[in-house]
Structure formats: C-alpha cells, structure tokens
A and B are shown apart, each in its own frame.
Chain A
Amino acid sequence: MQTAVLESALPFSSKKAMSKSSGENGQDFEFCEVCRLNHDQGRRHKYFPSHARALAAVLARFHGKLSDIRFFLRNPSSLSPEHAVLNHLWCLFCRCDLRELGSSFACSNTIKHLASSEHLRNLKEFLRKHGGGMDRVDSFRVSEAELLKWEKGCETLNNATTSSCERSIGPSTGSSKDIQYALTSSDMDNFEKNSINSFVSNASHSVMPLQCPTNENYDNQHDPAVSGSTIGGFIPHIATSWSVDIQGNIGLPGTYVFGSVSRHLSDGHPSCLASNAKSLIGWPLRNVIDQRTDSNGGSNEVLQNFTPISLPAEACQANMHTGAPPPWLEISEENMANNDPNVYRLALPSSSTGKSRKLNPKRVGAAWADKRRAELEMEKRGETLPKSCDANWLPNFGRVWQAGTRKESRKEFELEKRKLHENESPSGFSSKIHPYISKRMCVRSDEDCVPNGHVKENRNTL
C-alpha cells in the first residue's frame, strides 16, 4: 500500500527525507535533520535525550558562528573584494548559504538575512519542530534595533572614508578625530581583540600615496608634526607590536595584515598611518590626540622613545623599492657559479674525484680501474696513449682445468694457441684428441691385438 508523501512547506524538511513505508510504530518514517537519522517516533522524537544532545550541539555551533557576526554587527567594517569570496555562512534554520559577494561591509548580507522576517519565521518553525525553547529565538536573529545601529555605523564609516580621502597629506587631525568618533561610538573594549578589519579598512582608505622620502634625510619641514628619523624608528616598532598583538589575541595569520601594514607604510604617509595604528591597537587615544593638538615639538614626545635606524648610503641605492635582488639571492647565485664545476663533476658517473673517494681502495681491480680511468681521461683530452690495446690481449682468467695463478693460466693458453698454430702448419698432422680407451676394451677385441701385445690404436673420431 503506497503512502502519500506529505510535502512540507517548510524549507528545512527535505522531500527526499520522507519515507513511504511505515515503521513498527505504525507511523511514517521521518528524517531528523538534527540527529541525521530516520525515525518513526513522530513528535516524541524531539523529547528523546539523544535528539536533545544533538540539538544542543548544533545550536551551540551555530551560536559560535553568530558570535563572530555579532562583532561585525557592533563594529561595522568594510569588506575587501578578495575577502568577500571567502566569507559565507550556512543558515541552519533557512537551509541556505549566505555569501558576501558584492557586499561592501563585512557580513552585510548575513546581518540583513538574520534580521529578515523570513529567517524569523524559519527559526520559529525549527525550534517548534525540534524543540530547544522558543525563548532562544532572539539569540539566533538580529533585532531591528541592532540592524539600525549597524546601518548607522556603516553610514558613518562611509562618511569617514570619503572625508579622509579628500584631505591633504599630513597629520590629519580631522580624520583622526572622525575615526576616533567612529570608534568611540562603538564598543571600544573590543579594539584590543579584533581590530584587524577596522585597521585594514581605515588604512586602505585613509592612507595617501607617499610623496616624501622616508629615509633619514627626511626634511622636517615637509612634515612639521613628526621628524623623519623618529618615524624611521617608529614604524618598525609599530609593525612589530601589531603583529604580536594579532597573533596573541586574534589567532588570525598576522602575515597578511603585516604585509598590508608594510605596504601601507611604504606607500602611505607614515605619520597618518601611525596615528591610526596607534589608536586601533588600543593605546590610550588621549595621548595621540594630545600630541596632535599640541605644537609640533610636542608631538615628538612619544616618538623619542625609539631608536632610529640609520641606513648606510649604499643601501639606499639598491633596495626592494628600486627592484634590486635581495642579498641572499645574490649570494646563492655566486655560490652556484662557483660550485657549478664541482656539481657537474660529482654528477658524472665516471668522475674520478667523486667515485675514488667513495669506493673501497681494496676492491678487486682498484689499481686497474684507476689506471684505466686516467687513460680514458687522457683519451678524452685527445692525448695519445703510449700503449694501445693489443689484438691478442686477454684478461686474466682462472680456467677450469688449470691450477696456479690466473696469469699462469693465461700464459698456458697462449702457449697452447701457439702450438695449435704450429700444428696447423704444412705438416698436416691433425691434433684431434681422442678419448681414452682402456685395456679391457682392447682385450675384448682380441682380433685387433697385435701378437706382440701392443694395442692397436682405435681411430674412432668423435
């Protein structure tokens, strides 16, 4: 008997999850999204402890993700396009993937979705179906008040960035004041923890291209607020403390941010960036503001604690900005040029220097091998050898039926060969060797015997 499949309007109940057969309890099988199993327990399933445990785990996981989003809800920050691709969230209640493509602020699409009525409806349905308490609805959504606050923050951020871009180079007290206002309007306590995105956004919009050299000869007239030497010593400190702060508190890779810091340090105006960085790290803003509002000499108070690095004049000529290769690559190139012959020699299988060192000097034919190798090298160089290979040359061979040294066996063979050649001379005597015939065999054939007892040689040739 076929059971009609109930199509639920809720998005989180999948159609394929509904089974057509009935279970032992007489109820249709259902697929529980939380427990990820098929059951025929009906509505009682949500009261089972296993389901409660699974639900608690799922909601806790989603709650953790929402906590990150809540930070950006409280601290609106702009989102770069390269990061937009990476950011996405799976909404458990609506069963949809929330991506940040095309959004200009961090978690913009997610925040808007969480504040939507559709999400609220799905959330309520989910909690109703799977349990978990309806009092937790607000913890999984964004209220209208929070959304309004966030939108105001985004608007302020937009205004701040546009105003800072229009300003000239130099310590812009106005922009710093705006940023300060933007920061003070949000939760200042979170700066020590999560200030990366804010820093990046501020840096990308507020830093102007470098128009003055940042070496030790930086003229103070160009930058009345801060001296060049102190800046040179200040920036590394900022960078170092920044990276430490990142790695210690946030756990995100500090390399990217550090890279962005270094990039902006090289391109942007140092004083402006330093002030922003200082404020974002969480240092007391009062110090920065006081320095900005003070006279030009007063702004050097904090900067004087750092030791400036004096670069040699030669270093200014070739550096990464001029496109020169790094010093470690130059050294390696020199080493490669010097070591090439050695490497090539070692790579040769018949190289004498490499092999002779490794091989056992007591191996068989070691002297012969060295001598022959030298001869081959001489031949390669084109030198004529005093002795050429004789056509009658033979290796030392331990023959089967000979006793004595191998040299003796070779001499014996050469003697035999000489005798063979002599025997093949005009005498015509065949030197075929016949098998041994015993006397008994001769006795059997008495007719062949000569009366004087001599055995007639049997000339059976084989």
Chain B
Amino acid sequence: MASFGLGKMSDFLLPTLSRKRDVDCIIRDTLDKVLVLRFGRAADPLCLHFDEILSKTSREVSKFATIALVDVDSEEIQVYVKYFDITLVPSTVFFFNAHHMKMDSGTADHTKWVGSFHSKQDLIDVVEAIFRGAMKGKLIVSCPLPPERIPRFQLLFKDV
C-alpha cells in the first residue's frame, strides 16, 4: 500500500512507495509522461529538502511528469536499489514509457540525478529537458543547468 508523503508547505501529496509491486505499476502505467522516482529516506535532511521542492513542483509539471517517492529502507525496494546502483541518497531516476532516461550533467553517473536541486525552476528545467528529449526519441539528454548548480559527488566502485 503506497503511503503519501506530505511536505512541510506542500499543497500536493506525493505517493511514497515501499513495495516493488507499486514501483512496477507506476513504471508501467505512467504513459507519455516523465516518471520521476526519488529514492531516499524521509528522515534524511537533504531528502526532506528535496521532497519539499518536489511537492511544490509537482503541480507545475503535472501535465508532463509524475513524481513519486521510493523508500530505500524498504526490504522489497532493495532489488531496485541494487539494480539502479543507488549508493547515495537522494537519488532520482527518470523513466519515460517504462524506458530509463539518462541525463549527461557532467558527473560520473548519467543514469540518475544524485542530490537535490537549488530551486524549483531547476527541477522543472531538468524534467522538461528529459520530456523534450523523450518526445524526440532520445534516451539520453543534456542537462540544462549550469555546472555550479549541479551537485557534485564521488562515485565509488563498489565502496572503493
């Protein structure tokens, strides 16, 4: 059963998924819209900040994107954590018509967005870029944000 996570000042509820079946359903049933899956924890401060931005932005992007939160601590979700190589939270994976969308943001990992966003507009720009690329048939798009607004992280190969 998906629970709903409520941001502090959000006016739109985001579904929090803790079962693999729910994640499968949302990936399969989100058609012709970008699916934004945030993998993180509700207690993590950076995740909270990111959730705030997501909930505030959900309405603006509702016409071309669907946002959902995934709890990384859930047991059923671990298969996705391993499959998506999620080592840092929050990590956001994008899908379009059940196809994984990559974004080249100049970081080492193009398969997901690691970290939060500086503002709502940054998130909207990123989601819009992914949507536009997907509508053109591209599986990987360039990040529209300037480098200073892209969070940096170190990618370790298997904890090394």
Contacts and interface: CB of A to CB of B under 8 A. Distances in A.
Interface of A: 350, 355, 359-360, 362-366, 368-369, 372-373, 376, 389, 391, 393-401, 406, 413, 417, 433, 435-436, 462
B160 A417 contact: no
Nearest to A367: B97
A400 B111 contact: yes
B137 A362 contact: yes
Contact of B29 (A359, A372, A397, A433): A372
A389 B24 contact: yes
A139 B141 CA distance: 84
Given A363-B96, A364-B134, A368-B98, 17 more contacts: A359-B32, A359-B135, A363-B32, A364-B99, A364-B138, A365-B99, A368-B99, A373-B31, A376-B29, A389-B24, A394-B83, A395-B27, A395-B99, A399-B84, A399-B85, A400-B85, A417-B82
28 contacts: A350-B31, A359-B32, A360-B135, A362-B137, A363-B96, A363-B136, A364-B101, A364-B133, A364-B139, A365-B134, A368-B97, A372-B31, A372-B97, A376-B29, A389-B21, A391-B21, A393-B24, A394-B79, A395-B98, A395-B99, A395-B100, A396-B100, A397-B83, A399-B83, A400-B109, A401-B85, A413-B83, A417-B79
Contacts of B32: 355, 359, 363, 369
Interface stretch (B6-14, B40-48, B142-150, B151-159): B151-159
Contacts of B27: 395
B111 A397 contact: yes
Binding site secondary structure of chain A: loop
B85 A372 contact: no
B28 interface: yes
Binding site secondary structure of chain B: mixed
Nearest to B97: A365
List the 6 closest pairs (A to B, CB-CB), nearest first. A365-B97, A364-B134, A365-B99, A362-B137, A369-B97, A369-B31
Contacts of A360: 135-137
Contacts, number: 91
A396 B155 CA distance: 22
Contacts of A413: 82-83
Contact of A398 (B25, B29, B100, B137): B100
B102 interface: yes
B95 interface: yes
Nearest to B31: A369
Contacts of A369: 31-32, 97
A363 B135 contact: yes
User: Quick one: which of A360, A365, A366, A369 has the most chain B CB within 10 A?
Assistant: A365
Contacts of B82: 413, 417
A47 to B, nearest CB: 68
B96 to A, nearest CB: 5
B79 to A, nearest CB: 7
Contacts of A365: 96-99, 134
